[in-house]
Structure 1
Amino acid sequence: MPRRRSRPSVVLAALVAALALVLSACAGSGSTAAGGGSATLKWASSYFPTHWDPVVSGSGAQFRELALVYASLTRTDEKGNAVPDLAESWKYNSTGDEVTFHLRPELKFSDGTPVNAAAVKAAIERAKTQKNSALFGDLTSIKSVTTKGELDVVVQLTQTDYQIPLLLGQRVLQIASPKAAADPTTLDQKPVGAGPFIVTQLIPGTKAVLKRNPDYWDAKNIHIDKVELISAPDAATVVSGLQTGVYNFADITPSNATAAKAAGLDVFVQPGFNASNISLNVNKAPFNNPKVVDAVRYAVNRKEFVEKLGFGYGEATDQPFPKDYIAYDPQSADKYPYDPAKSKQLLAEAGYQPGKIKLTLVIPDAQPAAEIVQSQLAAVGITVDIKVDKNWATPFFAKELTLSLYGTTGRDSAVQTLTAHFGPDGPLNLSSPYQPAGFDTAIAKVRQTSPDSPEYASVLQAATRTGLASNALIFTYSSPNLLAKSKSISALPANPGHIDWTGVKVS
């Protein structure tokens, strides 16, 4: 046990600390950011980037870490609306199939290359054409990009699409220096952007050290001088690391949230678009029989997922959107309630006796959700064998699997979320090229409707309703992003799915 200090020594230590604070205040300019590196964010991340080239990294959870380095044309506010980032404004033509983004003047990347229209054009074209791009499927609405002067980027579209300002934000278009991106392999380990921080050291897969970027367009509102981004150890040790000051910020699991609160840490429940689902391939038996699909729908007890996996966080869901989000469709709520008796009846009508259907559930790693699915389907007479395959992504995205599980962090554009799940080329649609009837038409109508239109919500919800008719996905539960921080870090903006360091201070 640590040795106890006498009361006089405690008082003396307090006086010394107080004197140090006074001297520090006299020497500085009143801003933590001006104190020469005193404000350090020590972030333990479970999503430490595998790739630092945003084109290769894609729009998954790692975009939050890459947003330290890279800025985008737009970003989202607390309501999920597109707001200016590198682009200070944008304007559509009269037919909605062309949008011009006007960039902020006199910006530059951290290597000194100007942030201009040519750089943005190069970034979009690279995301569409680079061989190992994970983003090309997100940009199918973009036909071509031209420039007009130094600061205007003109994006020509294949169709009327008012979703583009939402699309070209942090998740999909983090813009790298074209000079650095000329060698994508080097960029992948030496990132160069125009974001709030600059990488000064990078140990692949382990640690990144970043310093404040004085040339960032909103540098006056970035009060953190240094970031130490560390690949988090196992979840059980993250809370103790936060307690001891090894870290002062970390993403945590629901099972660790109670321990984090008990340790006196702030637990930030960040709103998001996370949703987990059971993915079915309707091109393979037995899911080519709609009655079998419905039988699985009625066999799913969503509350069990929440009770066993949520630890007081999250909720049952049958949609990819949270209930308070504009794209959530109230008419589709609880369309397939838990009803194992009805599930058994449908299987019998489809000609399957108990035990007749035997399935292999392929997942990337051992996870309790798979055991819940196995148990719930066993209760209605479907046998499920769980197979863990670390290379699961290859057969999943090749649409070779019959049954799998998937969880997503959503997208800033609701249309992008819907097409990714239900579209014929959707990466999350295990049944490609299958899509529900009328889906293309419903999505086209959303694209043609401005988010400012009074009809936008109803048109968008109708598209969600059409997508949910898909036989390829059964949503189970949603959970927020949970972040634990020491009390030395001020409150974070509650932007859905994003970690925004604007205005955040480390005392």
Structure 2
Amino acid sequence: MSLRNSARLRGAIGIALVAALAAVLTACGSGGAATSGGATLKWASSSFPKHWDPVVSGSGAQFRELALSYAALTRTDDQGRAVPDLAQSWDYNSAGDQVTFHLRPGLKFSDGEPVDAAAVQAAIERAKKQQNSALFGDLTSIKSVTANGLDVVVALTQVDHQIPQLLGERVLQVASPKAAQDPAKLDQNPVGAGPFVLTQLIPGTKAVFKKNPDYWDAANIHIDSVELTSAPDASTVVSGLQTGVYNFADITPSQADAAKKAGLDVFVQPGFNASNISLNINKAPFDNDKVVDAVRAAINRQEFVDKLTFGYGSATDQPFPEGYIAYDPQSKNRYPYDPAKSRQLLAEAGYKPGDIKLDLVIPSADPAAEIVQSQLAAVGITVNIKVDKNWSTPFFAKDLTFSLYGTTGRDSALQTLTAHFGPNGPLNLSTPYEPAGFEDAVAKVRQTPLDAPDYPAVLQAATRVGLQSKALVFTYSSPNLFAKTKSISNLPGNPAHIDWTGVTISGR
């Protein structure tokens, strides 16, 4: 089957897995809170967005909440594949360095502006150029975008068959270009073409939406309104679900058992979450390979699982879950727990117990940090846990020596790899370092169509090279967990995404 027909028929087949009350900002529409009655989703969110401009919010966990307002060129199905959203199909040229997305006709944003190629072009260019964009690093393969009616022609800097996976709702939620003329206003008043339209926003506290009758798949959206609330103290979420304050909530593994005992449904969403220890090999003592290897050998991943995930997580030594298309079986347990070897390596590096003293800088109190502290103390490394609320500035400037990080993964497996291991990867604390051979392995993945028979092997080979990185030590993975009342039907099990398509709420 040709690339053109393959994309048109199947999309791109890819991977197989409270704050101070402020002034109320009212969006175009009814201008008030949702009225009583109807099917109302009452969602207590632990990641209530600080930013509603998708360019500023970036591809972090808040994309799930922003997806209430916004749609993207593609979305992700239950197998993790890119499938049509605003774009009904796409095709590559024969060289693989240009892809054309064909938009659905007759669509419009919630402010009445048309969803056309010019709007998508503006969204991509804004993501690449806006000063406070959190997405520019994800779009390095895009050289230019041309708008031709409903056809978005994306010219690439290189052959890259990952683009349909990339331009989904994590990276390219499309805002109305008219609304985006004032990015500051858009940041607190989302205007998209998604399944719902904002009617009220209390920044940091609550957002209210009504169903968007002009959404392209409105016939399969059975929720009339959404009340999104910033989750209160974790201890009150389950009782809030029991009393009807909420009917859907983000929960932690420690809350799951209580939710089940309360008669609630616990939705275990598959995902690509992975936690790691970040090392900066440009700074001592991690400029010594033996010290890096000593830290690798000192880490008992199972302890993180046992103490932090309450049976819902798993030990991981890769950024992907086992069984996922990008998971490399050959690299399983490459760095096993071996504290005796760790102590030996430190001695070979010229360090006696207590010689190495490290600040572990993290953004907030985290029990994972205490586990790291304890495990490294066992091999003679002293760790001082330092909480810095402004942690993100030195981390992304690559000024820290030692830190922790956790990701929710990406829809493009290659994007996950480059974010972790690439020379400019945001999660690579050792920039510009990268493992030997990584760039070549990445290029080969980009050059391989997603439906090619050898794609899994090529992708896993890139994972294998990336895992040679001395900058990260992976520890454990925990799925996304949600509790819901039984009035809400089952949700599609799309990896890392919350999809409200087909979901019903009974007991109106």
2:233 aligned partner: 234
SS of residue paired to 2:91: strand
Deviations 1:181-209 (A, max 9, x none): 01001111111000000000000000000
Aligned mates of 1:45, 1:457 — CA distance in 2: 35
1:496-507 equivalences under 5 Å are 496-507=495-506
1:387 aligned partner: 386
SS of residue paired to 1:250: strand
Q: Please state if 1:307 is matched with 2:300.
A: no
Deviation at 1:36, TM superposition (A): 8.8
Aligned mates of 1:112, 1:398 — CA distance in 2: 40
1:406 aligned partner: 405
SS of residue paired to 1:123: helix
SS of residue paired to 1:326: coil
SS of residue paired to 2:475: strand
Aligned mates of 1:339, 1:86 — CA distance in 2: 51
Paired residues of 1:37 and 1:226 also in contact (CA < 8 A): no
1:57 aligned partner: 57
SS of residue paired to 2:325: coil
2:221 aligned partner: 222
Paired residues of 1:365 and 1:389 also in contact (CA < 8 A): yes
SS of residue paired to 1:175: coil
Aligned mates of 2:234, 2:472 — CA distance in 1: 29
Deviation at 1:235, TM superposition (A): 1.1
Aligned mates of 2:420, 2:274 — CA distance in 1: 11
SS of residue paired to 2:324: coil
Aligned mates of 2:317, 2:235 — CA distance in 1: 31
TM-score w.r.t. length of structure 2: 0.92
Deviations 1:130-153 (A, max 9, x none): 0000000000110000012x1000
1:27 aligned partner: none
Aligned mates of 1:324, 1:459 — CA distance in 2: 16
1:268-307 equivalences under 5 Å are 268-307=267-306
For 1:71, give the aligned amino acid: A
For 1:199, give the aligned amino acid: L
For 1:247, give the aligned amino acid: Y
SS of residue paired to 2:297: helix
Q: Please state if 1:69 is matched with 2:69.
A: yes
Deviations 1:285-307 (A, max 9, x none): 11011110000000000000000
For 2:119, give the aligned amino acid: A
For 2:47, give the aligned amino acid: Y
1:167 aligned partner: 166
Aligned mates of 1:237, 1:424 — CA distance in 2: 43
2:344 aligned partner: 345
Paired residues of 1:141 and 1:159 also in contact (CA < 8 A): yes
Which segments of 5 or more consecutive residues in structure 1 lack a partner in the other structure?
Answer: 1-34
2:106 aligned partner: 106
Aligned mates of 2:37, 2:98 — CA distance in 1: 44
Deviations 1:469-497 (A, max 9, x none): 00000000001000000000000000000
For 2:422, give the aligned amino acid: G
Deviations 1:223-280 (A, max 9, x none): 0000000000011111110011000000100000000000000000000000000000
Deviations 1:120-173 (A, max 9, x none): 00000000000000000000110000012x100000000000000000000000
Paired residues of 1:302 and 1:477 also in contact (CA < 8 A): yes
1:156 aligned partner: 155
For 2:202, give the aligned amino acid: I
Once the two structures are overlaid, the 10-residue window that deviates more, 36-45 or 161-170, is 36-45
Aligned mates of 1:452, 1:36 — CA distance in 2: 48
2:6 aligned partner: none
Q: Please state if 1:124 is matched with 2:124.
A: yes
For 1:81, give the aligned amino acid: R
Deviations 1:47-66 (A, max 9, x none): 00000000000000000000
Paired residues of 1:117 and 1:147 also in contact (CA < 8 A): yes
Aligned mates of 1:240, 1:297 — CA distance in 2: 41
Deviation at 1:324, TM superposition (A): 1.7
2:7 aligned partner: none
Deviation at 1:356, TM superposition (A): 0.5
SS of residue paired to 2:373: helix
Deviation at 1:437, TM superposition (A): 0.1
For 1:68, give the aligned amino acid: L
1:342-491 equivalences under 5 Å are 342-491=341-490
SS of residue paired to 1:174: coil
Paired residues of 1:282 and 1:431 also in contact (CA < 8 A): yes
Paired residues of 1:276 and 1:408 also in contact (CA < 8 A): yes
* Percent of matched pairs sharing the same residue: 81
Aligned mates of 1:250, 1:435 — CA distance in 2: 39
Aligned mates of 1:95, 1:309 — CA distance in 2: 48
1:134 aligned partner: 134
1:19 aligned partner: none
Paired residues of 1:359 and 1:384 also in contact (CA < 8 A): yes
Deviation at 1:119, TM superposition (A): 0.3
Deviation at 1:37, TM superposition (A): 4.8
Q: Structure 1 residues 248, 103: closer, same or farther in 2, change over 3 A?
A: same
Which segments of 5 or more consecutive residues in structure 2 lack a partner in the other structure?
Answer: 1-34
Aligned mates of 1:336, 1:425 — CA distance in 2: 25
SS of residue paired to 1:452: coil
Paired residues of 1:275 and 1:477 also in contact (CA < 8 A): yes
2:79 aligned partner: 79
1:46 aligned partner: 46
Aligned mates of 1:49, 1:37 — CA distance in 2: 26
2:19 aligned partner: none
Aligned mates of 1:251, 1:327 — CA distance in 2: 27
Aligned mates of 1:316, 1:461 — CA distance in 2: 19
For 1:310, give the aligned amino acid: T
Paired residues of 1:36 and 1:225 also in contact (CA < 8 A): no
SS of residue paired to 1:166: helix
